[in-house]
Amino acid sequence: LSLLLAFLPAASGLSAFGGRTGMAALDPAVVGRYASLTVPASAGIRAEYIWLDAVGNPRSKSRTLPAVPGSVDKLPRWNYDGSSCDQAPGEDSEVIIRPRAMFKDPFRPNEDNILVLCDAYTPAGKPIETNNRHDAAVLFDHHAGEEVWFGCEQEYTLFELDQVTPLGWPKGGFPGPQGPYYCGAGAENMFGRHVMEAHYSACLKAGLAIGGVNGEVMPGQWEYQIGPCVGIAAGDEMAVSRYILQRVCEDFQVFCTLHPKPITKGEWNGAGMHVNVSTKKMREKGGLAVILKAINKLAAKHDEHICLYGEGNELRLSGTCETASIDEFSYGVANRGCSIRIGRDTEADGKGYFEDRRPASNADPYLVTGKIMDTIMEDVEV
Ligand code: ADP
Ligand code: MN
Ligand code: MN
Ligand code: MN
Ligand code: MN
């Protein structure tokens, strides 16, 4: 019996306070003891510097700064070990990070603490290969007069820590077919709402333009929207919102994936990152004609766009489950089976925005927004 007991904690995995991931730290009494420590202003503030690794996942580390800076350009540059993020060789490992956007830190208990989103450079000052922000920022700067807005719909799927069982699914089996889950209510339909709500609150607290949230078609899948954001801010806010999502899931001990087709067996919707787009001219009288012209340009470059729209997207863009086929470009009004959708309101008003439904949930928002801008600005003089 004692032998059996000795193995129990491991077998029961993540039971409260007994798990392998230091869950004792989640005892509210223990957490509260440190969260309520008063830190004197003279101790400075805490800045969490965030950057993207070789596969686009957010990484971060902290430093203490003397005071809240007045603006992001007052923040010091920093560096990280690029060899540990698969972005530099060990013998010349330093990657330099430059602060680009600043938000409130929703996790630390002091109002003055901040999140600092950075992009990455070699010591010689060249953007590193995976710095997709750099080119996008140059492009948006160049076309600043267009006042381009992006609204991104980020879908994500929650799993148990085994990374095999979506939240709420029976182990090794399947839940009832899709239908009751989208925007649903009830314990039999909605799994992980506490995670979604915590992320929503944390994003609002950080100061992100999170426009809304909803339960998705596949059980265990959720969506939030960021935007409309102007130009490069869309990519910045998306990157920070994804970072916050991972931190929230860490707290709740839930695994979150942005994989575009987390379940391939059976009829289960994939996960996308629809990108809604408008320029100033599209939002003004006569805008629909400008939108249609942009869609024609996008049609001509379908393959180039698909290449940048996320890994594994071919599993998702099947032509079923509210997607268009990856091989063909299509557009339509109010049609969710098209590559590009024009909303009913935009058609009725003769102006507004369009939705690119092709990007996968794991797509790089800088690459996607940058490519869309590049394509629709093709023959536009500055
Ligand atoms: P859907 O009906 O496709 O699920 P959502 O409500 O989830 O739409 O998302 C719509 C997105 O479009 C939001 O992120 C919103 O900020 C964005 N949006 C609204 N108006 C514009 C606009 N003029 N230009 C760009 N994006 C816009
Ligand atoms: Mn060290
Ligand atoms: Mn949506
Ligand atoms: Mn959706
Ligand atoms: Mn959409």
CA angle 311, 314, 319 (to 5 degrees): 145
Q: Which two tokens stand for residue 100?
A: 């680009």
Residue in 147, 152, 153 to alter for ligand 1 test, most ligand atoms within 8 A of Cβ:
153
What does the pLDDT look like over 200-235, one tens digit per residue?
A: 999 999 999 999 999 999 999 999 999 999 999 999
How would you write 186-219 as a 3-class SS string? Answer: CCCCCCCHHHHHHHHHHHHHHCCCEEEEEECCCC
Q: What residue type is assigned to position 284 of the chain?
A: E
Residue 130's closest CA among 90, 79, 95? 95
Q: Is 228 in the pocket of ligand 1 (CB under 6 A)?
A: yes
**CA atoms of 224 and 211, how far apart (whole Å):** 7
Asked whether 199 lines ligand 1 (CB < 6 A), one says: no
Residue 32: which residues within 8 A CB-CB, separation 6 or more? Answer: none
pLDDT, tens digit (0-9, with 9 covering 90-100), for 113-130: 999 999 999 999 999 999
Could you read off the pLDDT of 251-305 as tens digits, one per residue?
999 999 999 999 999 999 999 999 999 999 999 999 999 999 999 999 999 999 9
User: Are the C-beta atoms of 329 and 302 separated by less than 8 Å?
Assistant: yes
Residue 111's pLDDT band (boundaries 50, 70, 90)? Answer: confident
Q: Is 236 in the pocket of ligand 1 (CB under 6 A)?
A: no
Q: Which atom of ligand 1 is nearest to the CA of 357?
A: 3
**Closest ligand 1 atom to 227 CA:** 16
| Beta pairing class for 340-342 and 331-333 | parallel
Ligand 1: residue whose CA is nearest its atom 15: 151
| Whether ipTM exceeds 0.90 | yes
Summarize pLDDT for 31-40 with one digit per residue, the tens.
888 888 888 9
- The CA distance from 357 to 164, in Å, is 27
Structure tokens at 290: 């400008």
Question: Are the CB atoms for 317 and 323 separated by under 8 Å?
Answer: yes
**For the chain, what percentages of helix, strand and coil (3-state, to nearest 5) are there?**
35, 25, 45
Can you give the pTM of this predicted structure? 0.94
CA dihedral 132, 291, 361, 87 (to 10 degrees): -10
